[in-house]
Amino acid sequence: MVSVVIPALNEEKNIRVAVQTVIRAAREAKDTPLDIILVNDGSGDGTGKVCDQLAQEYPFIQAIHHSTNMGMGAAILDGIRLAKHDQLTMVPGDDAIAPYTLRNLFLNASKADYVLAMIMNTEYRPASRVFISAIYSLIYTTTFGLPIKYINAPGLWPVVALRNITLRARRYSVHAEINVKLLRQPISFLEIDGYMNPSTFKSSAIRIKNFIEVTRLYFLTVYEIFVTKRKTYCFKSKRVLPPGVEF
């Protein structure tokens, strides 16, 4: 059983497709029971109306509306608060995550406390975006000793653990903060392969507000992990190997 939060900012044309992708993936993953939280994050188009329509059509969907754009992190906080199941994942409202990835996450949900999908098809992104992402991941994984390759990996988060974590990120840094604070606790994790929909890859333009948030959150997280809550985050998570893989 999985809860799914879908943040959407001006995704009137895509939000229904994103929901259908999640439903199809769950159906193909042995009819995984779903709970979907749609978050209309201050959209100026008809996204909110479509969200309300979907909530009326499906009993397992609920729609939340932000009067202004609050960011992906704020939408994820809504998902953590409202999740009805033990695991939560985030799917962008632009239908960026391929059905294979969601199906793979759902099928492996019971194999570890935390399941991450490593994105394989990065060749569809601009070279500058790939380079920036690689440097960003390297800084985080090196600083915090994380045994993963991609710091912004989509995953199935354990809801109870998330509810005991203070999350400060509201935009781009939210996945990195979650990964740091989960993977420095005594939990098990499993890495699987995943893919994005190539048609949804966005420009590599760097927005100043994202740069400021990334820099601020990095130093705040360093201070929290190594100073104020070092006893809470002094553990190493345990890797679970996929079937047939041995070290």
How does DSSP assign 105-152, residue by residue?
Answer: HHHTTTSSSEEEEEE--GGGS-HHHHHHHHHHHHHHHHHHT---S-TT
- Under the banding of pLDDT at 50, 70 and 90, the label for residue 124 is low
| pLDDT, mean of residues 167-175 | 88
pLDDT in the model for residue 120: 76
Q: Is the pLDDT higher at 219 or at 203?
A: 219
Contact in structure between 55 and 38 (CB atoms under 8 Å): yes
Q: CB count, 10 Å around CB of 199?
A: 9
| pLDDT, mean of residues 105-120 | 91
Sorted by where each begins, the domain ranges of the chain are 2-239
Would you state the structure tokens that stand for residue 118, as one six-digit string?
A: 């490593």
What's the whole-number average pLDDT of the chain?
Answer: 89
pLDDT in the model for residue 241: 82
Contact in structure between 31 and 116 (CB atoms under 8 Å): no
Is 127 a residue whose pLDDT tops 80?
A: no
How confident is the model over 12-62, as pLDDT tens digits?
999 999 999 999 999 999 999 999 999 999 999 999 999 999 999 999 999
Q: CB count, 10 Å around CB of 228?
A: 11
Query: Token pair 């569809």 is at which residue?
Result: 124
Query: Nearest 5°: phi and psi at 43?
Result: -65, 150
Is 122 a residue whose pLDDT tops 90?
A: no
pLDDT in the model for residue 243: 64
pLDDT in the model for residue 102: 94
Is 66 a residue whose pLDDT tops 90?
A: yes
| pLDDT, mean of residues 168-190 | 92
Is 123 a residue whose pLDDT tops 90?
A: no
pLDDT in the model for residue 201: 53
Contact in structure between 14 and 94 (CB atoms under 8 Å): yes
Strand pairing class (61-66; 87-90)? unpaired
| Interaxial angle between packed helices 174-183 and 72-82, expressed in degrees from 0 to 180 and rounded to the nearest 10 | 50
- Under the banding of pLDDT at 50, 70 and 90, the label for residue 198 is confident
Highest mean pLDDT among 37-51, 185-199, 209-223: 37-51
pLDDT in the model for residue 133: 83
Would you state the structure tokens that stand for residue 187, as one six-digit string?
A: 């939990």
Q: Which fold has domain 2-239?
A: Spore Coat Polysaccharide Biosynthesis Protein SpsA; Chain A (3.90.550)
How confident is the model over 141-157, as pLDDT tens digits?
999 999 898 888 889 99
- Under the banding of pLDDT at 50, 70 and 90, the label for residue 205 is very low
Please give the model's pTM, rounded to 2 decimal places.
0.89
Q: Of 209, 142, 208, 213, whose CA–CA distance to 175 is shortest?
A: 213
How confident is the model over 153-169, as pLDDT tens digits?
889 999 999 999 999 98
| pLDDT, mean of residues 103-108 | 94
| pLDDT, mean of residues 88-101 | 92
